[in-house]
């Protein structure tokens, strides 16, 4: 006596068609012989769950089963097994491996049976070519003001010898007799009343839909040739690292005379010894003397637009940041420019002459600061460790 079909699939007698289908998919994937360690046991289990699904997924068969029960189906089951054998079920319903059954259950459209699926062949009409991508490096100044560069782009171009047809000029191009020009062949197989349909690439024309009397001697029927082209690229003012520039139609030519893809150019800005960019703003540091900081006055601040004169107030402190409006990078995505921020660093003089030392002592005296001369044996502390170890 066989097990109850509802028990085999692990569903209740009120289960919907969707619930039955879901349970079957799960069990079929779990017990397929290609993924089970015990192949013989998995084969029997796979047959059992498929038989249960065949009955319960069919409304009329399910109604009969619910009415007469398992015992009433014994004779029918014998006929079912014969039909299964005739349909090639010993080869697990026509599935070549686990990848086939996975595609059937999860990758294709289901009709009234989970076995109804399609394995799509590649399109036989014109296809858009793939995009190409290259990097281009520009200097910091070029990124601010814009520039034009040339890049080498490896790509496929249409074969001029055959005009992209793939056939030797002057020879016949015929519709493939095997697929009728579709590039696909359909294979159908009935399994337990359900139909498995597979759509495969035509082996005679390899999905092209046409056969050539003589293939092109230049491209060998590909219709395209690999080459390298020099493409001019305009880098806009304000370009930044990571900016993508698209050049339509500068990618590879499409198959079967299809349109070309695009060229994607990624900008890389080389570092600058003085300036750094944050967004559309430019940042830099500038060293000034003690006297300039103390007395104030006019100084020159470097910028990408040239040296700019700036007035400093008396007593300017180290770390002060000067903002230069509209002296940053132009914005690529909106109007206007960023600003430049220059941080002032007060430079302490070294190797003073005796006269300079006297002037600093005089200044300290005017400020009421008591400065003692260092002994000849005193050393200059060059590290933090020296300072903290001085009194040890």
Q: What is the DSSP letter of 29?
A: H
**Alpha carbons 329 and 334: distance in angstroms, whole number:** 12
Higher pLDDT, 91 or 120: 120
Strand segments, DSSP code E, in the chain are 132-138, 147-158, 173-175, 184-191, 194-201, 210-212, 224-235, 244-247, 263-269, 276-278, 281-289, 297-301, 308-312, 321-324, 340-347
Q: Which two tokens stand for residue 320?
A: 């002060």
Q: What is the DSSP letter of 123?
A: P
Q: Place 277 in a pLDDT band, splitting at 50, 70 and 90.
A: very high
**Alpha carbons 278 and 276: distance in angstroms, whole number:** 7
Highest mean pLDDT pick, 173-187, 189-203, 231-245: 231-245
The arithmetic mean of pLDDT across residues 278-289, rounded, is 96
Q: What is the pLDDT of residues 143-168, one digit of tens each?
A: 999 999 999 998 888 888 888 778 88
Q: Place 30 in a pLDDT band, splitting at 50, 70 and 90.
A: confident
Closest CA to 80 of 5, 188, 11: 5
In this prediction, residue 39 carries a pLDDT of 67
Q: Place 237 in a pLDDT band, splitting at 50, 70 and 90.
A: very high
In this prediction, residue 190 carries a pLDDT of 61
Residue 231 has pLDDT above 90, yes or no: yes
Out of 34-48, 79-93, 293-307, 317-331, least confident range? 79-93
Contact 253, 157 (CB under 8 A): yes
In this prediction, residue 89 carries a pLDDT of 37
Closest CA to 328 of 273, 268, 279, 267: 279
CA atoms within 13 A on the CB side of 265: 25
The helix, strand and coil proportions of the chain, stated in percent and rounded to the nearest 5, come to 30, 25, 45
The arithmetic mean of pLDDT across residues 161-181, rounded, is 84
């Amino acid at each position: 006596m066989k097990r109850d079909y509802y028990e085999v699939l692990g569903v209740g007698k009120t289960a919907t068609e969707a619930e039955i289908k879901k349970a079957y998919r799960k069990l079929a994937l779990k017990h397929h012989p290609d993924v089970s360690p015990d192949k013989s046991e998995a084969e029997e289990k796979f047959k059992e769950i498929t038989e249960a699904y065949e009955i319960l997924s069919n409304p009329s068969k399910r109604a009969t089963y619910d009415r007469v029960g398992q015992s009433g189906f014994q004779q029918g089951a014998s006929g079912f097994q014969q039909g299964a054998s005739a349909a090639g079920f010993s080869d697990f319903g026509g599935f070549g491996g686990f990848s086939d059954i996975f595609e059937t259950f999860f990758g294709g459209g289901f009709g009234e049976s989970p076995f109804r699926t399609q394995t799509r062949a590649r399109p036989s009409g014109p296809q858009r070519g793939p995009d190409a991508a290259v990097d281009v490096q520009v200097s910091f100044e070029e990124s601010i003001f814009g520039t034009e560069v040339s890049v080498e782009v490896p790509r496929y171009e249409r074969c001029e010898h055959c005009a992209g047809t793939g056939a030797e000029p002057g020879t016949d191009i015929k519709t493939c007799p095997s697929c009728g020009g579709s590039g696909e062949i359909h294979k159908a197989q009935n399994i337990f009343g359900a139909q498995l349909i597979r759509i495969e690439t035509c082996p005679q024309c390899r999905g092209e839909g046409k056969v050539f009397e003589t293939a092109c001697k230049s491209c060998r029927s590909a219709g395209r040739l690999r080459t390298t082209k020099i493409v001019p690229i305009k880098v806009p003012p304000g370009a930044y690292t990571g900016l993508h520039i698209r050049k339509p139609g500068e990618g590879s030519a499409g198959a079967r005379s299809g349109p070309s893809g695009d060229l994607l150019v990624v900008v890389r800005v080389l570092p600058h010894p003085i300036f750094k960019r944050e967004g559309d703003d430019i940042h830099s540091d500038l060293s000034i003397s003690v006297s300039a900081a103390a007395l104030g006055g006019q100084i020159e601040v470097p910028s990408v637009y040239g040296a700019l004169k700036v007035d400093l107030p008396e007593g300017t402190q180290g770390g002060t940041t000067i903002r230069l409006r509209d002296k940053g990078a132009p914005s690529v995505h909106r109007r206007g420019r960023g600003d430049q921020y220059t941080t002032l660093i007060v430079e302490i003089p070294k190797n003073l002459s005796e006269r300079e030392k006297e002037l600093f002592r005089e200044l300290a005296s005017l400020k009421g600061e008591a400065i003692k001369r260092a002994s000849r044996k005193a050393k200059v502390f060059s590290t933090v460790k020296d300072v903290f170890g001085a009194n040890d």
